Amino acid sequence: MIRMVKAMATLIGHYLDVFLFGLWLGVICWLLLTGSDKAFLHPRFRLFLAGGGILLAAFMGVILYGPKRRSIGWPLAAASARALLLMAPLLFLSTVVDQRLGAHALTKKYTGMEQQTLLRLLESGKAKTGNAKPKPDMSLLEIARRMKQIDGRRVVTEGMVYRPDIMPENYLTLFRFAIFCCAADALPVWVFVEKAGVEAFDDEDWIRVDGTVQIVDFNGTDVPVIKADTILKKKAPTSGEQYLFF
Amino acid sequence: MAGLIVFFRHTPEFATLSITFVSIFLEALPFMLLGAFIGGFIEVFVSKTIITHIVPARPLPAILLAAGLGLVFPVCECAIVPVVRRLFGKGLPLGAGIAFLLGGPIVNPLVALSTAVAYGNNQAIAGYRLVSGYLIAVAVGLLIDRFFSRKTALVNEPRGNIGEMDDGCNEPASSPGISIQIRRAFRHGASDFIDIGRFLVFGAFVAGVLQTLVARGDLAALFGSLPLSVLAMMTLALLLSLCSEADAFVAASFRTTLPLTAQMAFMVLGPMLDLKLVAMYFRVFKKRLILVMSLLTFIIVFLSMMAGTWVGR
């Protein structure tokens, strides 16, 4: 029995680090192949993630074909604890594959001044858009970019619902998150939507809004309000499609 | 961590925490691996003699040079920790190492570009950020060099092997073949990743918890005066642990609520000092140095931001 335990410990000791690198390599491949990386990172990070995968494979290779760990007992226990800690993000990753940043994240990331920031931030995009009449179907990011340009025009856009208790009757906040690098730096992009009966929608419902944009003064800041003609509930996108990307 | 998953898995707070934690880790992972890989190659291919030849012997020129190294060797804060750790092992002077560690993630063309873009192609703000970062890194490097020695500052030099493996890493360097040296470099890299990666996990987790509990707007709204808003933004930079190439966009989201000085404090402190970095510093420095360096950095950033505002008036 003791001999079997020792043999097992030796085996774990030999291949623990190989297993760790292999596991992370597998997860990176899975993220890249399924597009699930977009649930956490900007697509421009795919290249870096792929580079990380190559390094993991190289690290795994040299350990697999190199000399192995000899000692067992406490050193092995310490190495196992270290490896387990490095696996902790995987545990969390497995629980959030189908989840999204929602209303709770909005309340934590909201500063109230996103519209002004986005307007200035996206000023460089003006040249590209020129004076051409914008198509009505546009993302919340596009609305922020062309806020002044589309005042009084019809737009069709989509996002999540947020209606805090202080929200006036017939109004809701339509929001999504836009990310620069990863979900940790997500910036909420939002507009107000006005229509009778919006109280029927629950927080985090995904809706498609068709209406006319009006710029109003909100706490001293210009913000867009969509006077909606129709609001349709829609299926939530996959976690990889939830963000807008700068 | 397991308790959180078992008891809070279906709450919205848990989703925010998990996504934030995993995002920070995944974003840092490739750079951390790259840093470990470069560190491994430094260990094998860069001798102490080379470092002695490249780095000036006197502290001031060495620190002035090291604080600006990011311009030619652009690395983010996650990659720089394992690199500096290996450079210390090769005899890099303490002050120069600190200056590179603090200045590298700011004095960096990629960071300058992202800052300019975040502020609507305002290159003056990007320049101000780089110059502030450089001067603060030099100041902290000089002070640390003055009051600490390598012996009192650094934890044991990296052993260069994985666990207790006898992998040949410590063989005498009697000109082994290039393929053996490359394999050895990779093994050092793998060792560094495992050794420092766990601190990244811990730091990313704590940053995730705080991003879940602390609202950006509330913290900024707490303080009305300039000094307090600067302090608020510095605290936020500590808590959020954002990448130095993305933090300018978050800082820019406060541009109509807070003065530029407060936004600048956020952008200058974040790449030098945040929870994720402090956790990783524990694998390089002794506790006392981490405490002193953190306090010095915090105080110098605060004072220089206030002085900058005063001069600007």
Whole-complex ipTM: 0.87
Residue of A nearest to B37 (CA): A55
Tell me which H or E stretch contains B232.
Answer: helix B226-240
Calculate how close chain A gets to B63, using CA atoms only, in Å.
Answer: 31
* Domain end point (choices A95, A121, A149): A95
Among the partner-chain residues A86, A92, A124, the one whose CB lies closest to the CB of B194 is: A86
pLDDT at B219: 67
Is the pLDDT at A134 greater than 70? The verdict is no
| Average pLDDT of chain A to the nearest whole number | 83
Q: Which residues of chain A neighbour B197 with C-beta distances below 8 Å? A: 86
Is the pLDDT at A89 greater than 60? The verdict is yes
B165 vs A85, higher pLDDT? A85
The answer to whether the CB atoms of A183 and B20 lie below 8 A apart is yes
pLDDT at B312: 65
Residue of B nearest to A90 (CA): B22
Residue of B nearest to A73 (CA): B164
d(CA A100, CA B258): 29
In this prediction, residue A66 has a pLDDT band, given cuts at 50, 70 and 90, of confident
* Domain end point (choices A95, A124, A153): A95
B66 vs B49, higher pLDDT? B66
Contact A105, A204 (CB under 8 A): no
A32 vs B53, higher pLDDT? A32
Give yes or no: residues A191 and A234 share one domain. Answer: yes
Residue of B29, B125, B266 to mutate, interface with A, max A Cβ within 10 Å: B29
Calculate how close chain B gets to A166, using CA atoms only, in Å.
Answer: 17
pLDDT at B148: 93
Q: Which residues of chain B neighbour A218 with C-beta distances below 8 Å? A: none
Q: Does B266 lie at the interface with A, CB-CB under 8 angstroms? A: no
Q: Which residues of chain B neighbour A67 with C-beta distances below 8 Å? A: 165-168
DSSP B104: T
Assign residue A208 the CATH number of its domain.
2.40.50.140
Question: Mean pLDDT throughout B280-306?
Answer: 93
DSSP A201: S
Is the pLDDT at A124 greater than 60? The verdict is no
In this prediction, residue B168 has a pLDDT band, given cuts at 50, 70 and 90, of very low
Question: Mean pLDDT throughout A134-155?
Answer: 82
Give yes or no: residues A136 and A221 share one domain. Answer: yes
Q: Does B33 lie at the interface with A, CB-CB under 8 angstroms? A: yes
Q: Which B positions 85-144 lie with beta carbon below 8 A of chain A?
A: 114, 117-121
Is the pLDDT at B10 greater than 80? The verdict is no
d(CA B87, CA B84): 5
pLDDT at A231: 93
Give yes or no: residues A67 and A138 share one domain. Answer: no
| Lowest mean pLDDT, pick from A75-84, B19-28, B200-209, B249-258 | B249-258
B95 vs B236, higher pLDDT? B95
Strand partners of residue A189? A176
The answer to whether the CB atoms of B198 and A62 lie below 8 A apart is no
In this prediction, residue A113 has a pLDDT band, given cuts at 50, 70 and 90, of low
What's this model's pTM, rounded to 2 decimal places? 0.78
Is the pLDDT at B162 greater than 60? The verdict is no
Tell me which H or E stretch contains B219.
Answer: helix B216-222
pLDDT at B273: 92
Question: Mean pLDDT throughout B14-34?
Answer: 87
Q: How many domains does chain A have?
A: 2
| Average pLDDT of chain B to the nearest whole number | 83
d(CA B295, CA B283): 19
Could you list the residue range(s) of the whole structural domain that residue A190 is in?
103-245
Nearest to A193 by CA among A208, A174, A179, A221: A174
B121 vs B31, higher pLDDT? B31
d(CA B297, CA B275): 14
Among the partner-chain residues A83, A114, A183, the one whose CB lies closest to the CB of B23 is: A183
| Lowest mean pLDDT, pick from A30-44, B11-25, B243-257 | B243-257
Q: Which residues of chain A neighbour B205 with C-beta distances below 8 Å? A: 88
pLDDT above 70 covers what percent of chain B?
Answer: 89
pLDDT at A127: 43
The answer to whether the CB atoms of B249 and A88 lie below 8 A apart is no
pLDDT at B167: 44
pLDDT at A132: 55
Residue of A10, A47, A48, A108 to mutate, interface with B, max B Cβ within 10 Å: A108
B220 vs B230, higher pLDDT? B230
The answer to whether the CB atoms of B18 and A71 lie below 8 A apart is no
d(CA B59, CA B140): 12
A110 vs B109, higher pLDDT? B109
Give yes or no: residues A37 and A66 share one domain. Answer: yes
Give yes or no: residues A134 and A224 share one domain. Answer: yes
Nearest to A40 by CA among B232, B28, B272: B28
Q: Which residues of chain B neighbour A63 with C-beta distances below 8 Å? A: 162, 187, 190
Residue of A27, A60, A90, A121 to mutate, interface with B, max B Cβ within 10 Å: A121
Q: Which residues have CB under 8 Å from B300's CB, separation 6+?
A: B136, B139, B140
* Domain end point (choices A42, A77, A95): A95
Tell me which range, A209-213, B23-27, B81-85, B199-203, is most confidently predicted by mean pLDDT. Answer: A209-213
The answer to whether the CB atoms of A246 and B249 lie below 8 A apart is yes
Measure the CA dihedral A31/A33/A34/A38, to 10°: 50
Strand partners of residue A171? A194
Tell me which range, A32-46, A136-150, A207-221, is most confidently predicted by mean pLDDT. Answer: A32-46
B38 vs B157, higher pLDDT? B38
pLDDT in tens, A151-182: 888 999 999 999 888 888 888 999 999 888 78
Number of A/B CB contacts below 8 angstroms equals 226
d(CA A97, CA A238): 9
pLDDT at B157: 59
Question: Mean pLDDT throughout A205-215?
Answer: 92
In this prediction, residue A97 has a pLDDT band, given cuts at 50, 70 and 90, of confident
Nearest to A106 by CA among A145, A162, A157: A162
- Provide the residue ranges of all domains of chain B, joining segments of one domain with +: 7-157+180-312
Give yes or no: residues A124 and A215 share one domain. Answer: yes
